C-alpha cells in the first residue's frame, strides 16, 4: 500500500508535472480511477482541476476541452487510457469521438476496467418496472400486491408487505431481491408496487 504523499510524488514524476489528460500544468491532483482503490500509481492519474471537475460533478461536459483525448488516448499508462475511453464513450453523441474510439486499443484487462462504469452497447439495458410500469431503482421500497409463496421454503410474502432497500437482478428485468421476514428472497416485479 502506498501513502498519498508518495503516490503524488510518483504521479508527478510520471506526468512530468502536467495533467495526464489535457497537459495543463496548474492545480494538479491525484485522481483514482474507479473501481481501483489507489494502492499504487497504476490505479491513478495526475489531472488538473478542470478535468477533475468535469469527471466528478454533474456540470455540463465541455466537449471541446476533451479534444485533448486525441493525444492522451495513446498514453502508455493504463489508467489514462481507461479514463480516455470512458470520456470518449460519454461524448459519443458529439460525433468526433466515434473515430477515436474505433482507433483506440486497450489490452483485455484495461478494456474490462474501462467498461466497468459504462454500459456495453451490445447489451440492451435491463429496466425493472413494477406492476404499474413505474421504473424501479436499487434501494427503492416496494409493496407486495398479492400473497406469494416463496419457493423452497414455508415463507409466504403476504399482500401489503413492504420490502425496503431492494436490489435489482442485473440480467432479468422481471426479478428483484429483497428481505421478507428477515430472509432475502427473489420477487417478481409484476407482483410489486412502488
Q: Kindly report, residue by residue over 172-193, the tens digit of the pLDDT.
A: 889 999 998 888 889 999 999 9
What distance in Å separates the CA atoms of residue 116 and residue 170, rounded to the nearest whole number?
A: 14
Residue among 42, 41, 33, 119 nearest 83 (CA): 33
- Contact (Cβ atoms closer than 8 angstroms) between residue 30 and residue 19: no
The per-residue pLDDT for 125 is 64
CATH number of the domain at 142-193, please?
2.30.30.40
User: pTM score, two decimals?
Assistant: 0.59
**Separation between Cα atoms, residue 189 and residue 194, nearest integer Å:** 10
Q: Does 120 have pLDDT greater than 50?
A: no
Residue 155 has pLDDT above 90, yes or no: no
pLDDT score of 122: 44
Residue 142 · residue 130 · CB < 8 Å:
yes
| Location of C-alpha cell 504521479 | 11
Which residues sit opposite 47 in a β-bridge?
29
Q: Hey, where are the domains in the chain? A: 4-115, 142-193
Instruction: Tell me the Cα Rg of the chain.
Output: 22
pLDDT digits (tens, 9 = 90+) for 29-74: 999 998 888 788 899 999 999 999 888 876 678 889 999 999 999 9
Question: Rounded to an integer, what distance in angstroms lies between the CA atom of residue 130 and that of residue 146?
Answer: 13
C-alpha pair distances (Å), 19 with each of 106, 117, 128, 180: 21, 22, 40, 50
Element containing residue 175 per DSSP (H, E):
strand 175-180
pLDDT value for 124: 52
Does the pLDDT of residue 12 top 60, yes or no? yes
What share of the chain has pLDDT > 70, as a percent? 93
| Spatial contact of 135 and 160, defined as CB atoms under 8 Å apart | no
CA distance 25 to 103: 27
Amino acid at each position: 500500500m502506498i501513502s498519498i504523499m508518495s503516490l503524488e510524488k510518483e504521479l508527478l514524476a510520471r506526468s512530468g508535472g502536467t495533467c495526464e489528460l489535457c497537459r495543463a500544468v496548474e492545480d494538479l491532483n491525484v485522481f483514482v480511477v474507479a473501481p481501483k482503490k489507489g494502492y499504487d500509481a497504476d490505479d491513478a492519474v495526475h489531472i488538473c482541476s478542470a478535468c477533475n471537475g468535469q469527471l466528478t460533478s454533474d456540470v455540463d461536459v465541455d466537449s471541446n476541452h476533451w479534444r485533448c483525448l486525441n493525444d492522451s488516448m495513446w498514453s502508455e499508462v493504463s489508467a489514462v487510457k481507461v479514463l480516455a475511453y470512458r470520456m470518449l464513450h460519454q461524448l459519443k453523441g458529439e460525433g468526433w469521438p466515434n473515430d477515436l474510439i474505433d482507433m483506440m486499443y486497450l489490452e483485455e484487462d484495461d478494456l474490462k476496467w474501462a467498461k466497468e462504469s459504462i454500459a456495453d452497447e451490445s447489451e440492451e439495458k435491463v429496466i425493472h418496472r413494477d406492476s404499474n410500469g413505474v421504473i424501479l431503482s436499487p434501494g427503492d421500497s416496494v409493496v407486495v400486491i398479492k400473497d406469494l409463496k416463496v419457493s423452497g421454503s414455508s415463507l409466504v410474502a403476504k399482500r401489503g408487505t413492504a420490502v425496503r432497500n431492494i436490489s435489482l437482478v442485473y440480467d432479468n428485468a422481471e426479478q428483484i431481491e429483497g428481505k421478507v421476514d428477515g430472509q432475502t428472497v427473489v420477487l417478481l416485479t409484476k407482483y410489486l408496487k412502488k
